[in-house]
Amino acid sequence: MDKNQPLNFTQPRHPRWLVVWQWLTHPSGLIQDVALRRKAAMLSGLLLLIFALEMASIIFRAFFFPDVQMAFRQVIIVLLLASIYLLSRTRHYQIAAGLTVFFYPVTVFTVVLSGASPIPELALMGLMIALFVGNLLLALPGLVALGVFNVVGMIIVVWLVPENFPHINFVPAIVLFNTIAAILAIVSRRLQQNIEQDRLATLQESEERFRQLAENIEEVFWIVTPWVTTIEYVSPTIEKVWGRPASEFYENADTYLQSIHPDDRETVVKPRLKQQARGEPTLHEYRIVRPDGTIRWIWDRGFSLKDESGQVYRVMGIAEDITERKQAEQQLRDNEKLLRALAEQFPRAYLSVINADLTIGFTSGQEFERYQFDPKLFVGLQVRDIVFDTYGDEEAVETIITAYNRTFAGQEQYFELSLGGEHLLFETRPLVNEQGDIHQILAVVQNLTERKQAETALRQSEERFSKVFSTNPNGLVLTRLQDGYIIDVNASAEQLLGYSRAEMIGHSTLWLNLYANLDDRPKLVKQLQLHGSLRDYELLARKKSGELLTLTVSIELIELDGEPHMISAIRDITEQKKVEAQLAYHAYIMENLAEGLNYVDDQGIIRFTNPAFDAMFGYKRGELIGQQISIVNDLPPAESQKFVADVLAKLQTKNVWEGEVRNRKKDGTSFVTQAKIQALTLGEQSYWVTFQEDITERKQAEEALRASEARYRALYNHSPVMMHSFDAEGRLVSVSDYWLEMMGYDREEVIGQPATNYLTEEAQRYALQVAIPEFKKTGHVKEIPLQFAKKNGEVIDVLLSAVAEYDKDGNFERSMAVLIDVTERNQLEAQLRQAQKMEAVGQLTAGIAHDFNNLLTAINGFAELTQLALTPNDPLATNIGKILHSGQLATNLISQLMIFSHKQIIEPQVLNLNEVVNQTDKLLRRIIGEHIDLKTTVSPTLWSVKVDHTQLEQVIVNLAVNARDAMPEGGQLIIETANIALDANADRADHLQMAPGEYVLISVSDTGVGMSQTVQSRIFEPFFTTKERGRGTGLGLATVYGIVKQNSGGIQVYSKVGQGTTFKIYLPRTEEPDPHQAFAMDVADLPTGSETILLVEDDEGVRGLVSRILEMQGYTVLAAGNGQEALQLAAQCKDAIDLLLTD
């Protein structure tokens, strides 16, 4: 088909009779289904044919048999047929079908039962019609019921009809009837199938057309279940409108409800769902929120589908995106609001919005009120019709239409017309929508009649004002007080405001947008009405270009033609305001500067000072103005002249001088400022501008800082503790003098070296693995125990405490560490712990020795008593002798333990250690053997000591034996004596745990294998030995330690593995004389007697032994185990007790 050929929408022509027949059988419009409409049409046609046949029968009988009167039943049948036919034309056609099915059988039965003779042909025809209609319109169960009903009915008819009924043979009639009925049923069923197939084909075609329509329309077509529990169909357009894929709505029906704007849900969702559930159509406008947050307006129309019972089973409808329409409506409302506001500014004008078809979209203006017209009456009318009907001027109409068309083309129009005796000014502007298209134009039609009259009046007064307007340098504007309508302006106003005179005259100041702040004019008018005139009133104005100006306005209120007018003289002070603002800003800065500021002219006179300068020098405001600058300088004349010359030289080269100046306050106080002097020329006058800052406190702080640094440096270098500092790489950057003194290094040797280089190997591992990581983590450590190695190899113990210093960015910069030498303290603490341990061991040993000694006393005593009772030849004498020998050895061992625990009874005497050494010389040589060289060095002026002679010999022997065992391959044993005073070195005395004083030293040294520190820490413990099992008891050095301590002395050991061992024993000097007397004691027999002796002994064995010996000697013995028993025995004894014997 040619696309340019117009489409033919006229209906095809049909025969008139067919048109009439379609009109008579056309079903009700409420029946939508095509197949149902066909069934209803067929029923109506069948009923119409039966009705026509019945009416033809009645007419035929009436025409040919006028004597036969029409029966009443025929009338009833005709009326029933007509009623059923009319019923089939409605949506209740199924009721009509049912009545048709049962109408003829009931009629036949009624006739038979009434005794009348039914017409067989009529009965047969009625039954066939009933079967046909039933087969066509009823379902299978209804059809079966109908067949049963017919068969039973015929049997009843055969049974009730008289035998002489002449018109029909009953049995053949039944057979014939059923045969015809069966054939008719088959034909009708086939017809029904064809109809059903046509209906399905029509339905599929309809569905396809519907789908194509739904998927290609701009609107969203939707089908849902009641209450929107399931969305069965939405057209693809929903993705464009809702911004969501259709699958989201199929998967979750709540997606639709949740997309509705929260503010619209309450007013739209619930009422709409209720209306749809009741089957009522719905129409709503609401907003939706798209996933991207944008909001769209939706126009939604829905209607319900009901089943045969009237229940709603589906709801469908169309949703249209009306966002653009809503925006256009809002734009229209905004435009109308704007136009109304503009209309108030045009007292004699019509304002209209013209649509693209040149109809009035909106109109307003006070001119309508003048003629008492309603502006709304013109909306929708053609501009051409309004102008022609009003003025009847075709030429003017064409001029207006041409101007409007040009405006739609983007050209603003401005022209005047004289119509109906009035002078009108037309002004048009295009209105552009969001897409940039011109969809409307704004037309302002002003009635210039009064303006023309005003111009005439103005021309009459121009001669009076022309000279004033032309010669006045200020802008002059003549306006009407009421509305700001501009009557005239001068050339200065034109130049000032940027508008031409023609552009301003006839317009209001508001229309020209001259006021930057719209509130200024009402305020100005109020002040003018209050005072009658204004002088230098400041306001902000806007030029034609949009530039803002600051004006001063002087206004006089005058009256022209009976109306109040304003004559305004305006002057631009924008630049003046800028200068004033800058000056005020600079003045504010100078007044509020924290630095002192002053201006001095070339004569040295102070011309300006700011408050900070006055306060700095102690003067009141203005007190220094006019004074010579020398009043504040504290420089001698010669130095002042040099200072001026220096400043002038610097100003000539660099235009600025900076430095420190000594000044004098008003009270005579001298102080120093940091000054900056610049040269300044104002006109022909030269000035020195000086900025000064009082740096007295800064100077004091700097001096205090220097003093503090000097004190710190002195404290650092002369501190009695070691101090050092290392950088981020762990290298020493400074060390104190005491650190160098202690470590034995020069400063140049250690600066730049890693601090860990001066630690022992074990301390380095601890520092690198534990101490330094902890320090970097926390920024400080406290009293970390470390060992430093001196330059000479000596190791010292220190406690290191350090803190970290960080730069402004928080990065580690350096550390400051204090090291306290605790070597001697650690040694003293070790000795104290050793002494405490030895004291505890001694107490334990003493207890054991005491108890064991009691046992040995009993054993040895009873053994001696037994030996006394035996003859020398007695066989038991040998056994008793061995017992006494072993007991003696045990007694010696106990004696050594008692010595260690300081519990042995000693017999101190004044001795010279040299004599004891000489006496033991031969004994020692026999003990140590010939492979060891014994060397003795004694002091000839050795002081005396008071000790037990035997114990001292035992000390020397024990030390010599230990030295021999340490030199299995031979070596040298050196014994030395010397006098020593410990009062001059109290630390050494504290180290030995002895009081300062004079002591005699005996030193025993060997060149043996030496001892480790671990062995040295335990050598004085009882039973501790490094010898093989069986070669030593472990009591030798313990006995030595006990003897020395028992005699108030001290012992010190020096040993290194492979370098030998030295024992130094210090014994206190005695001032007692040496008697050098030898005592000889005679051993007499044991005494005898008869006295009474009270014996108190807690050990039962000893108590028994002593009691037996005393009783053998004739004494009476009262033996008690403790003090309480002793008191009881003493109280019970009648004889006097001569002696108390106890330990």
DSSP codes of every residue in 88-134: HTSTTHHHHHHHHHHHHHHHHHHHHHTT----HHHHHHHHHHHHHHH
Q: 726 is written with which tokens? A: 């290392």
Number of domains in the chain: 8
CA 32, CA 860: separation in Å to the nearest integer? 143
Say if residue 357 is in the same domain as residue 392. yes
Whether residues 315 and 256 fall in one domain:
yes
Q: How far apart are CA 572 and CA 498, in angstroms?
A: 13
Residue 684 lies in a domain: yes
Distance CA 989, CA 992 (A): 5
Indicate whether 704 belongs to any domain: no
3-state secondary structure of 2: coil
Examine residue 493 and state whether it is found in any structural domain, yes or no: yes
Class of residue 948 by CB neighbours under 10 A (exposed 0-12, middle 13-18, buried 19+) = buried
Which among 19, 50, 31, 17 has a CA at the least distance from the CA of 89? Answer: 31
Helix pair angle (34-64, 16-25), 10° resolution: 110
Same domain, 685 and 627: yes
Q: Does 1057 share its domain with 927?
A: yes
What confidence score (pLDDT) does residue 788 get? 93
If asked whether residues 801 and 843 sit together in one domain, one would say: no
Q: φ, ψ for residue 936 (rounded to 5)?
A: -120, 135
Radius of gyration of the chain (CA): 71
How remote is the C-alpha of 694 from its chain's centroid? 47
Strand partners, 998: 981
Tell the residue number behind the tokens 């209050």, with chain if given. 530
Show the 3-state SS of 522-568: HHHHHHHHHHCEEEEEEEEEECCCCCEEEEEEEEEEEEECCEEEEEE
**Do 570 and 610 sit in the same domain of this protein?**
no
Q: How far is CA 306 from CA 156, 203, 309, 343, 957, in A?
A: 43, 18, 8, 55, 133
pLDDT for residue 839: 65
Over residues 493-539, the pLDDT tens digits come to 888 899 998 888 888 888 888 888 888 888 888 888 888 888 888 88
Does residue 10 lie in a domain region? Answer: no
Residue 1010 domain-assigned (yes or no): yes
> Given strand 422-432, what is the order of strands in its sheet?
360-364, 349-355, 438-447, 422-432, 413-419
Pick the closest to residue 30 from 89, 99, 96 (CA basis): 89
Q: What is the CATH number of the domain that holds 647?
A: 3.30.450.20
Q: Which residues of 760-791 are buried (b: 16+ CB within 10 A; e: fewer)?
A: eeebbebbeeebbeebeeeeebeebebbbbee
Domain region containing 852 = 829-1068
For residues 877 and 1005, state if they share a domain: yes
Side-chain-facing half-sphere of 572: CA atoms under 13 Å: 16
**Any domain includes 631:** yes
Looking at the fold, whether 849 and 994 belong to one and the same domain comes out as yes
Is 56 inside a domain boundary?
Answer: yes
Find the helix or strand (DSSP H, E) in which 282 lies. Answer: strand 282-289
Residues of the chain below pLDDT 50:
1-13, 117, 120-121, 124, 137-142, 160, 163-177, 986-987, 990, 1077-1084
Q: How far apart are CA 87 and CA 80, in angstroms?
A: 10
Taking only the tens place, the pLDDT of each residue in 329-379 is 776 676 666 666 665 555 555 667 777 788 887 676 655 655 555 666 777
Residue 682 placed within a domain: yes
- Looking at the structure, do residues 781 and 842 belong to the same domain, yes or no? no
Query: Who contacts 431 (Cβ-Cβ below 8 Å, separation ≥6)?
Result: 335, 353, 438, 439, 440, 441, 442
- Looking at this protein, which amino acid is placed at residue 454? A
Q: Name the domain boundary from 305, 321, 337.
A: 321
Q: Are 281 and 303 in the same domain? A: yes
Q: Are residues 917 and 1052 in the same domain?
A: yes
**538 and 572 within one domain:** yes
Count CA atoms closer than 13 A to 484's CA, side-chain side: 19
Cα 400 to Cα 434: distance, rounded to the nearest angstrom? 27
Domain final residue pick, 150, 170, 201 = 201
Phi then psi dihedrals of residue 445, to 5 deg:
-115, 110
Last residue of a domain, one of 290, 321, 352: 321
Nearest to 1053 by CA among 1041, 1043, 1042: 1041
What's residue 899's pLDDT? Answer: 57
Reference 962, options 921, 919, 932, 1000; nearest CA is 932
List of long-range contacts for 783-790, beta carbons under 8 Å, 24+ apart: 785/822, 786/759, 787/759, 787/760, 787/762, 787/763, 788/743, 788/758, 788/759, 788/760, 788/763, 788/819, 789/758, 789/759, 789/760, 790/742, 790/743, 790/744
Let me know: does 314 contact 223? Beta carbons within 8 Å.
yes
- Tokens 């104290």 correspond to 832
CB 795, CB 827: distance < 8 Å? no
